[in-house]
Structure 1
Amino acid sequence: MSTLDDLLAACVAAPDDDAPRLVWADAIGGERGELVVIQCDLARGGLTATEAATRRQRQRELLATHGAAWSGLATLAKHCVFRRGFVETAQLAVETFLARADEIVDVAPLLESLTAVGLESFIDHDEGGRQTGADALPVLAQLFASPWYPRLRALDIWEAKLVVFPDRESAYPHGYGDEVADLIATTGALAGKRAFGIRGSELGARGVQKLVAAGALVTCEALRLYESTLATTELLAMIGQASRLAILEIGPDLELAAFAGLPPTIVELRLGQHATDELLAALAASPMAPNLERLELGRGSISARTDVFAAFPRLRSLGLTDVSIGPWNAPPISRSDFARTLAAHLPGLRELRGPWMPSPERALDLVDALGPQLELLDLRGSRHVIGHRDELRARVAGEVLVGESIHPMRLLHVPRRTAASWWEQGDVTLD
């Protein structure tokens, strides 16, 4: 075994520790080592806005040039994420993982989170009724029995379902969500796992009952639940079992009264439901509000009084893509007052994504107030501000991103305390 192999083994043995990674980075040197140092710096924090912006820009350059090659997964995975210098998260077809696990672990030894895809099968009666694609339940059973599966600490299951095409005009999907839950409960597949997600598989009340009865979610610190079939009752049952929950992503709408039942341990929240004043008020009144550090809301409109934001004193990252915010039909002085009081109520805010800007004047009002404290302002998708990039940059302490809207692939990851950007985390598209 070479010295580099020994150093890499030390990284694998202590995945939460930066020190072995930095030793490996020093040994390998060059741009590959540079990426490790940059990402560890960003995760550790303590940088000025300019220093952080410079490192993020260099991270993007390195990954755009070398990310696919460095991942070793270019012919195997669809997406991956480098964190602290190494691939920690990947989107893979389960059958590929099973067939080539040795190779995958060899090139990505710190891989710890799997977004499991390729779980759809199809019956097309125009093609003789033959079933094609992966049979989700047997494939997942093989995954859970794989000798490599215990290495994973996070699992996100996407679209475990059968789609039937009875004719050229129709398609009838049948999700295996409840059956997947039964399999997880029976096999103990989530024992010791720190993060779990499921989407597009039609998980319902019966499956949730199985998971909760088996105590399957007890160790989960992150939940990613994008199932339109889940009602508020089922969502709360799953959330309630994860007593150490720090990260929560929910696709379906939660009843507003349910936010009062969300635990104060949550520091990162992503919601798919439309942003409204009523939703913001419910969040502000919830037990998690004083501890929330990252919040992202879906499209909508917020025009509430700025004092509502005072309920989030630790908020560092705010995502409001396609959300309009503030009294934009009011006179300029009212808009400026809104922006200034918003900044006063969010002294810890360092990243802002969105909101939707109907004019450059609205954007300049906002950055005049918030710009000095922001490390990253992402206004991609607001076409009205593209020609005002230099004016915006002159008002913002850190980095300003404008241009076409970008919706990065979000993959489930193992929760860790990090100062790295919520939206610039080392994503690489491979397929």
Structure 2
Amino acid sequence: MRPTSSSSFSRGGSSTNASISRCGVTRKVNERETPLHAGEEQTWRILYERARARLPEYVFVGFNANIDRIIRVDDLPPGAFSFQGGNLLRRKLETSMERRAAQEWFVDDPAFYRRAVAAFDAHGQTEIGGQAGIASVHLAGMGVPHVRCFVPGICRECATMLQKRGVVPLDGTAPPPCDERHTHLVFEYGGDEKRIDAARRANRFIASPKTHPGKPLFDAHALARLPSLVIPCTRGFFSGYQYLTTEEEFLEARNQLRAMHRAFSSFRSHIECVTIDHEEVLAMLTRRVLPEAHSVGCNEQELGLILTSLGREPAPPPGGGHFDPPGLVEGALTAHRSLGVQRLHLHTYGLSVLVHSLPISHPAGARDALMAAARAACARAGGDRRILLPRIGDILRNAAESLPPPVLPGIYDDGERMVLIVPALLSVPVRKTAGLGDTISSTAFVCDPF
């Protein structure tokens, strides 16, 4: 991995520059200058100022990229949902807004979805979407010199978008033109700017087709040249497994992950989760694929689904005024233990919880990676100010109530795992929420020196 330079984040906004080393040397924070009891907010602001992140030279990304149509709910005219079946879409959007939850509806009626895409064709604006698309464009813009993105069934417009942003699409087939299956509808709604809490936060609701033009799998041609695709990438960020449907497909995905690990011993893989409401698909993902990765990332909604699928007590998600930091930490610990992965990252409103198997050589570097991720998300979200959650000291103490005292600010060693609980900077007011989780997770993963 190479140290990031001050210009590496320049395309993401000046707010991220403080997390980058100008001299190219990662240096540890002098903990004596930031005593634990000097006041938590002051401590964390100093740590944010001094955090240094490092980027790898090569990153491999797969498997889902699409066109996102970003639609501001406040800008929609009356009657926007007056097409056939539009009331169902409106009700699902309203439920998401009531819960302030990042939800996605996988539409299994192609005719209805075609009508919905046509109805909103004149609204909002388009940009690259899909977790792989968002992550690859973000990482290239952040300064990773070589980002390779493999997206089966990628459309011509998506491939062009990736290339223009410095990403190398790897699917060897000639990309077809886009159709409605390549477009996702992303409805953004604002929060209460006077209340900084999970119950009134800005968020988004996504409507997307249940079927995808391509499965998140390598074809025979790609498998034959897999070593040349992976080497010399030291990080692989993967998503899109919600489009697999059978046991055979999930077993093939598992075998392909194993093949990538065999191809290059320095390769570390990460799977980013999505909200999956199909119990059988979720069960196959949690049992067949997630345990094969080195790292797993999720938000609070996805963590609850994973725990339920594993037969564990789900962590209560934020929403409706409920925010349970100790429950989220315990949920992350349980998921990490049950999945058997080396690293699990929970990104939720105002907090990142990272659980690492021991040994971990540079926990302060992992903490720096989480702070770099928060700054990158703030740059994407827009806004004029960067703040921490009110009463952040109380929140952190509450979150860590089951853990031993920290060995460094935000870093806890329970003898089996290293647990990091880091307050995430928030952007106020939030102007964009789509893709924030992918930005946080991909940044933290590629910069984590594990």
What is the TM-score normalised by the length of structure 1? 0.38
Structure with more relative contact order (C-alpha pairs < 8 Å, separation 6 or more): 2
* Higher-Rg member (1/2): 1
Name the TM-score, length of structure 2 as normaliser: 0.37
